[in-house]
Each structure stands twice: as structure tokens, then as C-alpha cells.
Structure 1
Amino acid sequence: MIAQDLESTAVRRDAGDLAKEGVVGVTIVWADNNGIPRSRTVPVDQFDAAVRRGVGVTPLFAVFDSHDQITFEHAPLGTPSGDIRLVPVHDRPVRLAGQPGFGWVPGRLTEADGSPWAYDPRGVLERQVARAADLGLRFLAGYEMEFQLTTGGHEDGDLPRPAFEGPSYGPAKLLAVDEFAGQLLSDLRENGIRVGQFHGEYGPGQFEFNIAPADPLAAADQQVLARQTVHAAARAHGLRASFAPLVTLGQVGNGWHLHTSVSRAGVNLLSGGNGPHGLTADGAAYLAGLLRDLPAVVAVTAPSQCSLQRLRPGFWSGAYAFWGVENREAALRLVPSTPLLGPDHANVELKPSDASGNPYLSLAVVIAAGVAGIEDGLTPPPAIQEDPGRWSECRRAELGVRRLPTTVAEQTEALLGNERIRNALGEELAGAFLTVRASDAAWAADRDATEVVRAHRWLY
């Protein structure tokens, strides 16, 4: 994966610049344990003060579930008392092209005295990036972002009406939303988000664009900013966008496929080696580490009730734990280097990843699993180039191919049973995360699948 020069392409403005451009408020954003962006907005003339002192928020945001219910079952956050600070990442403010009166900036959550807070997702990712750097490893990450555009059906109980129904992947699909598409590409560029391609996807009203690879923190920031950009462009054209893992029961879902590569001394470890498919020994170990910890990783990258309904065999969503070379049914898809694209292009795509996975935590557990694989010198099993969903149970068992968790109980077991992933999250955050998942499961217990999908439709 070839990194983009973010310093030369991204829009970096201080508060004075923003004010001169007509910005009146700066929105400070973080993502919670459901992958839902939360925010505070400060007047532009208060931005410098927010950088110095932060903005007060309740620590209970760490135990909000997907439906804004606060669970007090996680003992360290078991009361309504307390305060933390939301601090802007001061060198990353962006004037929102689609909302010209507002700026946008990612935030980190700290203790009231400014010290690190155990439940801060950005801090979790920063620790994993630093750990990898200590071993001489550098990561790049990029997202494919799928979403669906609708023209109606936005009331409770109504089925959304896709912006276009017809052949997948064709130019007519983009023609149906031509003005939106043009504004979106322009807004993404002005907001500093480099896009490799944009196209009509498989499902009704479904579209996709991919964000150019960047360092993990920038990649997570840009993923959160990109969804804000899409929602604003959709609103401007009388449309509504949904990134939910499933928008309508029975249809294809929306994944946010996460691509990563790892290098040492500027050399991509996923290409140029003597191993199978050009993998170096460390590149193969990285892939093996991801595969070893995949059930626990996916419990973080695709954690919601809606995620569980999306991860179905035969839907290219990665329902089984195996890897393959350019196999779109594989949970881990190796995209190898080619003479046309060059060695830096090689990367690993994680299919079971969606909007309900906090992007900072998702990248943190992917890095943790891969680095552990390198440290342990793991070797992956042979690549699988078929669809194991068409195999017998006996053949899957013979080749060690298992289904990824299909229930919250299985997700919880996978996470609790994996010390590497729990340690990457930190015991405090892991405890809050699992408490939120239990709250979501209790909410869904007496509801049918259709109601669960409908309730998630406009969360993302």
C-alpha cells in the first residue's frame, strides 16, 4: 500500500484560519464503543481554549449502548458521577466543505487533569502504533467504505427506497445520483481525504469509495470524517445515507473493509519474499497472527447485533475464519503485489469490518494480532481459493476452517479467551466494551431480526 503525503494533501488550518474562512464553530469528534461518532462543538474563538483545557463530558459515554441506553453494569463506571475532558487534536482541524460554517477535528478523551484515560479509543491505537514502532514496524491502513443512498422511507417502520435499482456496478447507477456524486468527490478532496475510486456497488442504492492508505491514526480520523462528509452531501441533495451493516433484512450489507500493510525499513513485508505468494517470513507471520486471533478481532471490528446478521456465508462478508489470495469470500484476503502495481501495493484486507466497529479500536486490535504473530514467528496454513461455505462440515473441520462468532455469547467468549486482544484494549476498556455488548444483546432479546435491522438503520 502506497501512503499518501498527508501533510501536502490534507487541509490543516488553525482556529484563526478557520475564522477567516467563515467558520463559526468547531466540532470535536470521537467514536464510542458502538462505532457511533459523538461530539461537542465550540465557537471558533473558544477553540484555542479547548485545546488547552478540553471540554467536559461524562465518562459514561464509554458505557452508552447502540441505542443510547446507559448501562451501569461496568463497576468502574457504575455511577453518574465524574467528568473527563475531550481535547481536540490541535493540528488536525478541517473546514467542512459540505458544512462551511463548521470546522471538524478529532478528539482524545483524558482524565480531568489531562492525564491518559483508560477508555480513550485513540489512546488505545496510539499505544499499539508505538509498540509496533519499537519493533521497527510501520503500518499503513485504508478503508473501502460501502453505504446505501435512499430517497424515502425514513419514518419508523417504512422500508427505505433505494436511490437507484438496476444493474450493479454500471454507470447508470452513478448517473442516478450524479449531482450528489460530484459534490461528494469535491467535498472529500477539500476535506483532505484522498479517494482512489468511487462506484455503484452490488446492492440496491449501494455505493462505495476507498480511502487512500495512511498511517493508522490518520486512517481512523479520515474514516470518521469521511462519513460526516457523505451525510452532508446526501442531505444537500435530498438523499439520506446509511452505513449500517444491514439496511434491509435479507439484502447485502455494508462493510468497511480494512486494508493494512506492514513494513520494516521502508520495505513492505507482504511482498518480495521467498514464501508462498511472495510473502516474507514476517509478512506470513503477520497474516498468521491475524488468523490466529480472528474471532476476537472480529468481535471488535464487527461487534453489533446487525453485524452478526450481515456475516453470512456466500455474501463476501467473511463468515469463515480463513485466508485466501484475492478470494473475496475469505475473511482475510491477501492482495499481492504485481508487476503492474509494484511491491508496495501488497496488503491484507479484513472483510468482517463495518461501521459499528470503532475505527481506532479496530485498527488497534488488528495491529496487536499481527505484531504478536511476527513476534511468535507464526506460519499460516495454506491459502484457500474456494468457498468453504460450499464444503461439508467434515471437510471444514479437516482443514481447520471455523465459522466466526454468530452470537454475542460467542463474541464475548472469543474476546474473554484472548489475552492478547484484551491486553491491547486494556482491561478497563475491554470490560466496558463487553458490558455494552451485553446491554445490546438484552435489548435485542425480545425483538425479531427485522426490528433489530430497522433500529440500526440510521445509527450510522
Structure 2
Amino acid sequence: MLQARDVKTVADAKRIVEERGLSHVKVGLFDIDGVMRGKYMSKQKFFSALDDGFAFCDVVLGWDSKDQLYDNVSYTGWATGYPDAPVRILPNSCRDVVDEPKQLIFIAEFAGAAEQVCPRAALRKVIEKAKAMGYEAMAALEYEFFLFDETPDSIREKGYRNLKPITPDFFGYSIIRNSVHAELYQKILAMAELMDFPIEGLHTETGPGVLEAAITYDEAEAAGDKAALFKTFMKVLAQRNNMMATFMAKWSGDYPGQSGHIHLSLKNIADGSAVFFDDNNPHNMSATQHHFVAGQQRLMPELLAMFAPTVNSYSRLIPGFWAPTDATWGVENRTTALRVIPGNSKSQRVELRLGAADANPYLAIAAALGAGLYGIEHKLEPEPQVKGNAYEQIHAAELALPKTLWEAAQKLKQSTAAKLLLGEPFVEHFAATREWEEREFRRHISDWELQRYFEII
């Protein structure tokens, strides 16, 4: 019997469906915000789609995370009538589905004109650039997320207030917590193995009900798939167990935000050697790693919208809460935006600590990798590394990060480097979606404003 992770070709995909006697399979793709959209597809339709592709309404690229239609994008909209766009199924993305015995899910991605604004295609474009430069990019993501003893109904009944985390108080790296809740941890780890996004480490973080999962590293495109599926099915697993998982950047002003850290390294395609490792240099940093870090640092303000894509993201980027506020770098320094991790030829890497858990993983990896490649291509040198507490130091003005999503969207729109790396259609489309997100926020009145101004002003 063929196993899901052994499926590589169209023929393999058809064979495993036949062997399992499935009448339907799941097919899903990821929208601009990294939300998985899809459906059950009959075996006959699935086989046809494997051979010739299929069509999916392009509204998936034209609406926000609440299914509200963008009014400021040119790719799709009422003017075009929201037609179907061509989609291809990726046979090698085959996975078993947690809690659905024998069921399979396949990732799809947009083709044709829609490919220009497809998030997964944006990452592939950067990966192809890396290959053209002689590099294979490796990546891994870490996610912090909060778990609550709530349901989709209960959080709405409570108006998203006074929610109950699964555990109280601050207790990072707790053996007590992961032992008391051993069944939950085992379910998460088992799901990750079953669905081929294995977890290297899983532990409590600082805050009530918060966990951190480090997904095992892989080639960059596969790492994007693993991260996107983890976020999706972690929510599924939680809700099937009468809990809720959130990957919001910051759900409460009382607790640290949720990060989505990105670890990156490069291999030489020619011989498989580590590009970043050079034990003749301080911190084992090769000249190429210096250029890579410099590119990430230089372009970080321009690409911030891809790491911090929601209004809520900017509530996390404040001093003292383990999130960087400037485009800084340091060696083993967790107060900087970029943390160089010295190691051996297998472990030398750079961690981008700027990203939040709410980012679309395909776009976050694309931005982090693309910026590094830009640095290599232009032989950039980084600013002097930060030693000590980066929050307490004054940094160069050009290292300052945008303070709002609107400002970040304007930086992205104006970025020549972003257009070179990702294509002008993608940059224009994504920047417009972030402008929409900010405008949607401005249409609403917060509790803070009512409490502050209603009676007194």
C-alpha cells in the first residue's frame, strides 16, 4: 500500500486514492492571508483535475479573511465578474488528515494570470532565484499560539472578552503543564507526524495557555507547506477537542505577542556544502552570510507588511515584549530583529525574529529569503551588530520599522527591490490588500475610544 508521504506523481495520487477506496478527497489552497480554502472533490473530478487542472473562483484572491471583497485591487473584482481561475493540484503535497481515517488532502495553487498574485507562487519565484544563484534554501518556522477552553460559539457569546486559557498564569517550559495535559500534547505531536509537518520541539511559553511549536526544517517550499498546514490543522485539532487556538499577533495587552520566527540557511547546489558556515571567521559567519544578513536588514522596513500583515501585528512590535522594533542584528541576541546562530556546517543559520504568528508563511519565507538573496547579489554589508539590549540603544534612522500597517503598505508599494523579487503585479496586489485591511480597521470604533471620549471630551 502506498503511503501519503510517498506520493510524488499524478499516477501515485490516483493509485493511493484507488487503494484506499475513497469516493472523495480534500483539495485546498491558501489565500492572501494564508487561510486554507477548499472542498471535498469526487474521485472522478479529482482524477480529471490531476490530468488537466481545474477552475476555482478567483474571489479567493479578492477577499479578506472575513470574506469581504477588496474594492481597491485590479486583478479581480466586480468589474471582472469574479471568474474562475485555473488551478493545479500538487501530487507531492498529499497528506493524511487528522481524525479522518483514510482521508487525504492535497494542496493546490493558482496558475495562469492568477499565479502572479498567488502567495505560494511568490515563494516559488524567490526559490527559483536562489537556485539560479546556485543555492538551495532551507527553512523552518516556529509558532507561538494560545489555546483556550472556548468554542467558536462561546467566544462570540462573550464578545471575545474574558476568555479562559487552558492553563493559568506564566509558566514557560513547564514540565508540570505538559505532563498534566499530556494527552493534548500527544495529540498535537501525533497529528504533526501523521500530516508530515513533524515538530522538533513543543513547550509552554510565557503566558496563560500559550505553546510554542518548532516545525522541523525542510527545503523552503516544503517548509511553507508544513507551516501553512500546521496553522490550519492546529485550529482543527483544537476545535475538535472543544478548544480554540489563536495565531493572532497579540490577543491581550497583558501578555507577550505570538511570534512566527523564521530560520534560514543556504546550501550550495553543486556540492551540498553549507553556504553560511566558515570556521575561519568570527561566529563562523561566512562572507556570504554577512551579505545575506545585510540584505535582510536593508529591506526589512520595505518588506515589513509581509512579516506583519495585520493591524494587530503592530501591537506586538513594542519594546520589552520579545519583539524587535528596528531592523537590527546580533549574534545570539534575542532583542534584535535578526539573530545569527553560530554552529557547525549543519546548524549555522539566521533567525528572523520579526515575524508574527499571523503572517502568511509562504510570504514571510519569500520576504526573508528574497531579502537575503538581494544582499548577496549586491554584496551588501550589515550595520555593526548590536550587543546587549537593543531596546535601550539608539539605532540609525534607516533601520526604523514602519509603525502601522498603512505605513508598511506604502513602503512595500514603493519598493523597487520587492518588485524585482516578487513581481510588480504581486506587490501592487498585496500592498492594496493591506491598505484595505487598515481601512477596514478605521471604520470601527474601539472600546478604548468609547471609554476615553464618550462622556468627557
Distance 1:355 1:122 in 2: 17
Q: Counterpart of 2:211 in 1: which secondary structure?
A: strand
Question: Aligned to 2:161, what secondary structure does the other structure show?
Answer: coil
Question: Match of 2:83?
Answer: 82
- Counterpart CA distance in 2 for 1:377 and 1:388 is 25
For the 8 Å contact 2:178–2:203, the answer to whether it is kept is yes
- CA offset digits 1:244-278 (Å, max 9, x no partner): 21222332121111111112232222222544321
Pairs within 5 Å for 1:336-375: 336-337=342-343, 342-375=344-377
Q: Match for 1:233 among 230, 234, 237?
A: 237
Residue of structure 2 in register with 1:30 after alignment = 29
- Relative to structure 1, the CA distance from residue 256 to residue 448 in structure 2 (aligned partners, 3 Å threshold; closer, same or farther) is farther
Aligned to 1:325: 331
**Contact 1:179 1:237 survives alignment (8 Å):** no
Q: Is 1:181–2:181 an aligned residue pair?
A: no
CA gap of 1:165–1:378, structure 2 versus 1, over 3 A, is: same
1:43-85 Cα shifts (integer Å, max 9, x gaps): 2443211222333222232231233211132234242242202
Superposed CA RMSD: 2.4
- Alpha-carbon offset, residue 15 of structure 1: 4.0
User: Which residue type is aligned with residue 349 of structure 2?
Assistant: N
User: What residue number does 1:280 align with?
Assistant: 286
Structure 1 spans left out of the alignment, 5+ residues:
1-6, 453-460
Distance 2:16 2:122 in 1: 31
Q: Distance in 2 between matches of 1:418 and 1:102?
A: 44
What corresponds to 1:387 in structure 2? Answer: 389
Separation in 1 of the partners of 2:253 and 2:186? 30
TM-score, normalised to structure 1, is 0.88
Q: How far is 1:8 from its partner?
A: 10
The offset of 1:303, in angstroms, is: 1.2
Q: Deviations for 1:129-170, whole angstroms, at most 9, x for unmatched residues?
A: 111111111110001111111002522333321000142221
Deviates more, 1:131-140 or 1:243-252: 243-252
CA distance in 2, matches of 1:130, 1:334: 24
Matched residue SS, 1:415 = helix
Given that residues 406 and 434 in structure 2 are in contact (C-alpha distance below 8 angstroms), is that contact kept between their aligned partners in structure 1? no
2:145 equivalent among 139, 144, 147: 147
Q: How does 1:223-302 map to 2 (within 5 A)?
A: 223-264=227-268, 265-302=271-308
Question: Which residue in the other structure is 1:458 paired with?
Answer: none
Determine the structure 2 residue equivalent to 1:442: 439
SS of alignment partner, residue 367 of structure 1: helix
Task: Give the 5 Å matches for 1:369-448.
Answer: 369-391=371-393, 395-397=394-396, 402-447=399-444
Identity %: 24
One-letter amino acid of the structure 1 residue matched with residue 307 of structure 2: T
Q: Distance in 2 between matches of 1:14 and 1:352?
A: 38
- Answer whether contact 1:159 1:248 (CA < 8 A) is retained: no
After superposition, the Cα gap between the structure-2 partners of 1:247 and 1:26, relative to the gap in structure 1 and judged at 3 Å, is farther
* Counterpart pick for 2:164 among 153, 161, 167: 161
Distance in structure 2 (CA, Å) of the matches to 1:61 and 1:343: 42
- Greater shift in the superposed pair: 116-125 or 218-227: 116-125
Structure 2: distance between partners of 1:107 and 1:157: 33
| Alignment deviations for residues 311-356 of structure 1 (CA, whole Å, 9 cap, x no partner) | 111111222210011111111111110xxxx321011111121343
Q: In the alignment, does 2:104 pair up with 1:103?
A: yes
Counterparts of 2:421 and 2:378, CA distance in 1: 16
Q: Structure 1 9/28 Cα, relative in aligned 2: closer, same or farther at 3 Å?
A: closer
Give the deviation of 1:19 after TM superposition.
5.1
Distance 1:388 1:9, change over 3 A: farther
SS across alignment from 1:184 = helix
The alpha carbon displacement at 1:381 in A equals 2.0
Does the 8 Å contact 1:151/1:163 carry over to 2? yes
Between the aligned partners of 1:131 and 1:8, the Cα distance in structure 2 is 32
Equivalent residues, number: 434
